[in-house]
Amino acid sequence: MSESGIESMAKSSLKFDPPVQFASTAHVKSMAEYEKLYAESIADPEAFWAGRAAESHFFRKWDRVLEWNAPFARWFVGAQTNVSYNCLEHQIARGRGDHTAILWEGEPAKSDGSPRDVVRLTYRQLLVEVCRCANGLRKLGVQKGDRVTLYMPMVPELVIAMLACARIGAPHSVIFGGFPAQAIVDRLQDAKSHYVITADGGWRRGIIVPLKANVDQACQMTDLVKKVVVLKRCGNDVTMTAGRDVWWNEAFADCSDQCAAEQLDSEHMLFLLYTSGSTGKPKGILHTTAGYMVYTAQTAKYIFDLKPDDVYWCTADIGWITGHSYIVYGPLQNGVTVVMYEGAPNFPEWDRFWAIIERYKVTKFYTAPTAIRAFMKQGTGWPEKHDLSSLRLMGTVGEPINPAAWMWYHETIGKKKCPIVDTWWQTETGGILIAPLPGVTPTKPGSATRPFFGIEPAVVDKDGNDQPRNVGGLLIIRKPWPGILRGIYGDDARFKQQYWSQIEGHYFTGDGARCDEDGYFWIMGRVDDVIKVSGHRLGTAEIESALVSHPKVAEAAVVGYPDDMTGEAIAAFVTLKGGVKVDDMMKEELKRHVVGQVGSIARPKEIRFADALPKTRSGKIMRRLLRELATKGRVDGDTTTLEDFSTISQPADDE
């Protein structure tokens, strides 16, 4: 870790009080109430979470709220429950049966701009579909504990499949539909998954993403897959392999619509979700049943201040944790209407999001800073075409939001009347850990503000000593919370090393942060070899290993550098094998190669060729130097320069 990389950022003096009318109806109405509840949650977390869990349905109550054998936490020990039941029957029992659960629109638009495909499912209808799918999966041979891989577009059937898996205790592993075949293979193999659900294709910016073809390609690289269920979405031609592939409709249509939810142990695996770390291989983040369930329900309730008649829209893809926790599990447990959109934000025009908000009278809207910056660049004309007056709250997630984008969101979209919740969390945390409560917490643009109930964050130096206020350091979380990851699938050693060895006994986030004079947290970015491109997490090692898998590449080093639109962009420094010509064609070839291996989100923005990479005497690549070069020494349009690192003296110390 580079100590000097964590410098306190310039202080921002902007501060906004929550709108008065919002507080009057909010779940938490005053700062004093937040302070009191927060103090209780820290003083006696078990009593606090037992109280919160009382809002969920359990087939059998827990014997103990928390069992903490660091670094392994077990929550609601001895309890039996089912998350699918809590999203469906529990909501129906509360009188939400005929209320719209999912309000979906596909990407294709008619000539007047209205959507061609719209689906509305009530909670009762959703239950029927989930039961059919669950029975169908069982018929195909899926048993409790089997990992089911979902590689699907953003369609209602993806939610149905997740809830069906959860219902029968088959953990799901959702793979983002933008990932290539190689990423599918890696995840199938790590999860040892025999079942895949996919679609013929999905719509993205007017083009069909060939999901089934990618699965076919993956199946040529591994023989793990026994069954592939294929949803017909786009009607594009696909090849069906007899004995292995079945159409969704044929597999599920005449299955019974009754399927009792399995009574699962509180610590039964709910899902795996792969994310990048500082090694070359994505890790399977493991979340279990009861703790994740209670944590997503409660954070969604308080941070988005959810009420039954909310029309809530989170624009994330379900392929990321944001979609798992705040499209599916959190909102459905709060009985709201969840809006879901299949495609790109700028299709057919740059006002698609604002049109959706107007069409369905969206009340709560959750998106990413990178999207806000992209909209900002298109000007105020697009949002001004639409009536956005239904909006009551807006959220952001994925990376720090720069104050200019925050102000644009606040003024142009929220018309200065909506609180903005900047939510800090991670795939590993299961749910939001640091965020304002919308009715009470004054916000400061760029800060995720204060911790949620039960969360004890701290900023420390590398020996674990608390940093003084306003001094940057490592962000750790002192005690476990219900949504915390339970492990990295199949790799306890990596789990311990990654999260628990930096500061003994405390969860290490990998982020740098500072805490200001008001106890507000300011996230300062990653301190490890993880970069954030458009809010997506990418390991430098992952991209490097993709580069060196190209036959012409000898060595590669990848760094992130600041980018106005994507937050960070990728620069790759590459040495080629002898005799290979250095030119623009070669750059394009390498970019395409990375896209093919890791996905288009990993496409390097810049490739620079070097005779050799700068290394310390111990052979470690000097990333700090490369970062500096990528940040400051960029020569636009320069295509063939060979960086000459031979003139750089080689200091003995590692970075």
Residue from the set 197, 303, 356, 523 that interacts with ligand WT7 by CB under 6 A: 523
Cβ of residue 403: shortest distance to ligand WT7, in angstroms? 13
Which residue from 245, 511, 542, 606 is in contact with ligand WT7, where contact means CB under 6 A?
511
User: Which region holds residue 548: left if phi is over 0, alpha if psi is between -120 and 50, else beta?
Assistant: alpha
Options 200-208, 507-515, 587-595, 601-609: segment touching ligand WT7 (CB under 6 A): 507-515
- SS3 (DSSP) at 329: helix
Q: Give the residue carrying structure tokens 């020990």.
A: 77
Q: Give, in degrees to the nearest 5, the angle at Cα 469 between 464 and 472.
A: 60
The span of 240-248, 396-404, 459-467, 581-589 binding ligand WT7 (CB under 6 A) equals 396-404
Which residue, 275 or 575, has its beta carbon nearer to ligand WT7? 275
* Interface region with ligand WT7, contact rule CB under 6 A, candidates 43-51, 70-78, 148-156, 416-424: 416-424
Question: In whole angstroms, what is the distance from residue 434 CA to residue 400 CA?
Answer: 12
Handedness of CA 135, 138, 140, 146 (dihedral sign): positive
d(CA 511, CA 453): 20
Measured CA distances, 178 to 14, 245, 345, 379, 402 (Å): 38, 21, 15, 28, 27
Give the footprint of ligand WT7 on residues 448-487 (CB under 6 A): 448
Residue among 157 and 422 whose Cβ is closer to ligand WT7: 422
The minimum distance between CB 22 and ligand WT7, in angstroms, equals 20
- Determine the residue with CB nearest ligand WT7: 427
- Given candidates 509, 540, 566, 597, which one binds ligand WT7 under the rule CB under 6 A? 509
Tell me the angle at which helices 181-191 and 211-221 cross, rounded to the nearest 10 degrees: 60
Residue in this structure with the two tokens 């903005």, named with its chain if needed: 420
Residue 537 makes contact with ligand WT7 by CB under 6 A: yes
Distance CA 249, CA 233 (A): 11
CB of 397 to ligand WT7, least distance (A): 5
What does DSSP say about strands 507-515 and 606-610: parallel, antiparallel, or unpaired?
unpaired
Whichever of 106 and 451 has its CB closer to ligand WT7, that residue is: 451
Among 343, 398, 439, 604, binds ligand WT7 (CB under 6 A): 398
State which of positions 305-324 bind ligand WT7 (CB under 6 A): 321-322
Instruction: Tally Cβ neighbours within 10 Å of residue 102.
Output: 24
For the beta carbon of residue 617, count every other beta carbon within 10 angstroms: 10
Site for ligand WT7, residues 125 to 164, rule: CB under 6 A: none
Rounded to a whole number of angstroms, the minimum distance from the CB of residue 514 to ligand WT7 is: 12
Site stretch for ligand WT7 (CB under 6 A), options 79-87, 230-238, 356-364, 395-403: 395-403
Nearer to ligand WT7, 201 or 323 (CB): 323
Pairing of strands 473-477, 457-460: antiparallel
Q: Near ligand WT7 by CB under 6 A, which window of 129-137, 230-238, 425-433, 494-502? A: 425-433
DSSP β-ladder status, 364-367 and 311-314: parallel
- Quick one: 409 or 424, whose CB is closer to ligand WT7? 424
**125, 193, 299, 423: residue in contact with ligand WT7 (rule CB under 6 A):** 423
Strands 473-477 and 507-515: antiparallel
Instruction: Label each residue of 436-447 as H, E or C.
Output: CCCCCCCECCCC
Tell me the closest approach of the beta carbon of residue 406 to ligand WT7, in angstroms.
11
Q: Helix, strand or coil for residue 214?
A: helix
Does residue 275 belong to the site contacting ligand WT7 (CB under 6 A)? yes
Helices (H), 28-122: 31-43, 45-53, 83-87, 89-91
Q: How far is the CB of 629 from ligand WT7 (least distance, A)?
A: 23
Binding region for ligand WT7 (CB under 6 A) out of 23-31, 255-263, 504-512, 629-637: 504-512
The single residue among 146, 157, 310, 399 that binds ligand WT7, judged by CB under 6 A, is: 399
- How far apart (Å, rounded) are the C-alpha atoms in residues 374 and 369? 9
Of the candidate spans 68-76, 100-108, 226-234, 424-432, the one that interacts with ligand WT7 by CB under 6 A turns out to be 424-432
CB 327 within 8 A of CB 314: yes
Point out which residues bind ligand WT7 (CB under 6 A): 275, 321-322, 397-400, 422-427, 448, 509-511, 523, 526, 532, 537
